[in-house]
Structure 1
Amino acid sequence: MGRITWDFRRTKDEDWGSKCIYLPGMRNITRLLIERNPWDYFDVAVPYPTGFHPRSDSDVLEWQDFVRNHNRKTLFCFAGAPRDTIKNDFRSLLLRQCMNVSGLCRAVDCAGTRCSNGTSLVLEAFLDSEFCLQPRGDSFTRRSIFDCMVAGSIPVFFWHRTAYLQYQWFLPSDPKSYSVFIHRNEVKNGTSIKSVLESYSKEEVKKIREKVIEYIPKLVYAKPKEGLESIKDAFDVAIEGALKRIKEQKQFGHKWK
């Protein structure tokens, strides 16, 4: 459906969006969205589109080799804009932690339209960093998760609903195998992100990064006319998952009463 589930769950006429999901014809339909309601069986979250649309298997393999061997100069990075109108804004806290560890963190301030005009600053930050901080966006998810992982950087999450309860078809079942989780309250109470990330050995970082790189094909959408030869992209995974869901519904009778 191309947007987050909440855009289709408005109950008031004056709210932005629609009540599409609440209409009778949508009740027992598997819905592909970029953010799901974790408590709705029929919502399935699919990856946000990134700027990488491979034309062939070789495009994927070459990119995986590139990000695997890229020289990463900084420990972690954060790309995002502070929300000055929000009290105790978490993004501002992340930016401060990043800026306070000069040389170990690369900050990209996305205030205004700095990160929405095709700038290479964000990609460069992800490519140059071992880890990338991924707080929630305007909703619980954000496109940056996938830009980060496609660049071979290890995501650091602060909310379970940002990824773990969203993209089960596309990400490993064990969150620790491809990411780091630091509860937001720990950060608010003074936990140093730098110290947490420095506690990972080079061998551990390499192992986690390899899992991220392994899953890159499932996070990207190939060029529609060409497609891929033997590698499954996000579109393939979504279609196979939807067909499996249809069989499940027939077998187990999942219905929204």
Structure 2
Amino acid sequence: MPIPAFPTMPESPTSPANPPTPPGSPLNVAAAASPVSALLRGSVLLLVFLALQLVFFSSLLSFPSPRFLPAPGNINTTWPNGLPADAGACGAGLVYVYDLPPEFNHDLVDDCESLWPWYSFCPYLDHGGFGQRAATLPVFLDVTPNTSLPNWYNTDQFQLEVIVHRRLLSHPCRTTDPARAAAFYVPFYAGLDVGSHLWGDNATVADRDRAGLRLLRWLRNQTSFRNSGGWDHFITLGRITWDFRRYGDDGWGTRFVLTPGMENVTRLAIEADPLDAMDVAVPYPTGFHPRAARDVRAWQRHVLALRRRTLFGFAGAPRAGFRDDFRDVLLEECEDAGRARCRSVDCTGTRCTDNGAAVLKLFLGTKFCLQPRGDSFTRRSLFDCMVAGAVPVLFWRQTAYDQYRWYLPARSRGEEREWSVFIDPRELRVGNVSVREVLEGFSQQRVRRMRERVVEMIPRIVYASSPDGLGGGMADALDVALDGVLKRFRERRRRMAREAP
């Protein structure tokens, strides 16, 4: 788990050296001693022992637990002059990671027991935000091959901030010299912060806004932010953008994105506002975090080789409080198609969030997966489906085509049809089409080509567990995001240079 590097704490803390034994100390005296001197020596020894114990326990308190440490590996990737050890591989530019006060990230993780009103959030913050290893959870053991199991975790969908921070702290293109940076990363865990205030009985609007306002006050005092006004800065939002866009004083969420100071900052969010140019949609974290390119290729071979006997599947829960909810339409479609053609997983309660294996097992056995909107246009299920090698069936363009443009090919209808199916929800509601008829209209060869295209895209929509990324020339979701951010900032610099008098 990543934390900012505190001024008094080295990036790779080591145990303090044992103090040398002072000459003439009781440990070095060979001669016999009198009872009084023996008593004195005993008192001194006791005091020394207690002092050492105090130092030891203080060190434990001052350093975070392993859950909060940066990823092992290339932790110290920079020379004293701030240049990466492999600067030649960073032609697109270097990234500076702000050392924020701990209240904006580390303290939130440290308080994981109270982040969520219903249960402890701590297990989901294990392993740098990936959560518990699937190998320790019996429900996963019959779902994935043993060779792929080390790449799977029970990951919460709102962990983007923690995952990205952890990776950037050990990124080979990180610089410790802001003067050399082409991009500045602000590791504020805004999603964890606001999430702890959304459902509390006594939470107020001021509670939701407080950390964001304090963060922006801190940023305005930083030379790099003042010099650019934030246009070369980026941040990750671990919740959907609408949780940070409260209009008025009595709505949902916080006003963080709308607060003066954020207008020029690029926001990488799991769901973005397509009308806001500063929002960039990046994939939801799934449970698949491969260590290297070879792990991805092994998984790709596995999902393509599976015999999929079910035509389509749906993971979701009916929502009784929503009139004419579209999910009810899809559940009826599934029931009408029969169990031989459609299967579903009822996600009522926390079944699907606590047990990602149930959703994974469903999608590994289906050729297509239905992806309606949820509380917002996109559900994590879209990416779970694609990682499992199933073809997503979409009903709103904003679910994928209008958002994840750095990741999902959607420059033309032809590109969209290579890896997805679109059905007009109005036509489905009135009975002019059925899901079964549409999907049975594709030939086996066409379905195979679509699935191959989906599987080809898997590396770009997952977050590697290795601090070095996937390697082997294979880009993961963070590589794509960082490349896009640096390209965006480079184009801004060129535009500003052209417009300069």
Q: TM-score range by the shorter chain?
A: over 0.9
Question: Quick one: which of 177, 196, 199 aligns to 2:441?
Answer: 199
Correspondence 1:189 to 2:430: yes
**Consecutive unaligned residues in structure 1, runs of 5 or more:** none
CA distance in 1, matches of 2:328, 2:495: 46
- Amino acid across the alignment from 1:149: M
Q: Secondary structure at the match of 1:222?
A: coil
Residue identity in the other structure for 1:98: C
1:151 aligns with 2:388: yes
Whether 1:22 and 2:293 are equivalent positions in the alignment is no
Amino acid in structure 1 at the alignment position of 2:391? I
**Contact preservation (8 Å) 1:99, 1:107:** no
Gaps of 5+ in 2: 1-236, 497-501
Partner of 1:211 in structure 2?
A: 453
Query: Quick check: 221-230 or 241-250, which moved more?
Result: 221-230
Alignment of 1:148-187 (within 5 A): 148-173=385-410, 174-187=415-428
Map Cα deviations across residues 22-48 of structure 1 (whole Å, 9 max, x no partner): 122111121100111111111100000
Residue 245 of structure 1 corresponds to which residue in structure 2?
Answer: 488
Kept in 1: contact 2:469–2:475 (CA 8 A): no
Deviations 1:126-158 (A, max 9, x none): 000000000011101110000000000000000
The letter of the residue matching 1:87 is R
What corresponds to 1:117 in structure 2? 354
Indicate which of 223, 235, 239 corresponds to 2:478. Answer: 235
> SS where residue 60 of structure 1 aligns?
helix
SS in 2 for 1:132: strand
Match of 1:4 in 2: 240
Q: 2:272–2:279: 8 Å Cα contact kept in structure 1? A: yes
Deviation at 1:12, TM superposition (A): 2.3
Amino acid at match of 1:58: R
- CA deviation after TM superposition for structure 1 residue 227, in Å: 2.3
Partner residue of 2:311?
75
Q: Is the 8 A contact 1:75 1:129 kept in 2?
A: yes
- Deviation of 1:83 (Å): 1.1
- The residue aligned with 2:115 is none
Cα deviation, 1:108-138, whole Å, max 9, x if unaligned, reads 1111122121242211110000000000111
Distance change (3 Å), C-alpha of 1:96 and 1:175: same
CA deviation profile, 1:219-257 (whole Å, cap 9, x unmatched): 00000435211210000000000011112223346xxxx
**What amino acid is the match of 1:172?**
P
CA–CA separation in structure 1 for the residues paired with 2:366 and 2:343: 8
Tell me if the contact between 2:308 and 2:365 (Cα under 8 Å) persists in the aligned partners. Answer: yes
Shift of 1:96: 1.0
Corresponding position of 2:321: 85
How far apart, in 2, do the equivalents of 1:140 and 1:119 lie? 20
The higher relative CO (CA closer than 8 Å, separation ≥ 6) is in 1
Q: Distance in 2 between matches of 1:51 and 1:139?
A: 21
Query: Which deviates more, 119-128 or 211-220?
Result: 119-128
What's the RMSD between the two structures over aligned residues?
Answer: 1.2
SS at match of 1:76: strand
Who wins on radius of gyration, i.e. which is larger? Answer: 2
* TM-score of the superposed pair, with normalisation by structure 1: 0.95
Cα 1:220–1:107 shift into 2, 3 Å: same
Cα deviation digits, residues 204-226 of structure 1 (max 9, x gap) = 10111111001000000000435
- Residue 300 of structure 2, aligned match among 59, 64, 71: 64
Equivalenced residue count is 253
Report the AA paired with residue 385 of structure 2.
Answer: C
Is the 8 Å Cα contact of residues 30 and 245 (structure 1) preserved in structure 2?
Answer: no
Using the aligned pairs only, state the percent identity: 54
SS at match of 1:26: coil
Q: CA deviation at 1:85?
A: 1.4
Superposition map of 1:27-38 within 5 A = 27-38=263-274
Mark the CA change 1:97 to 1:31 in structure 2 (over 3 Å): closer, same or farther: same
Shift of 1:10: 0.4
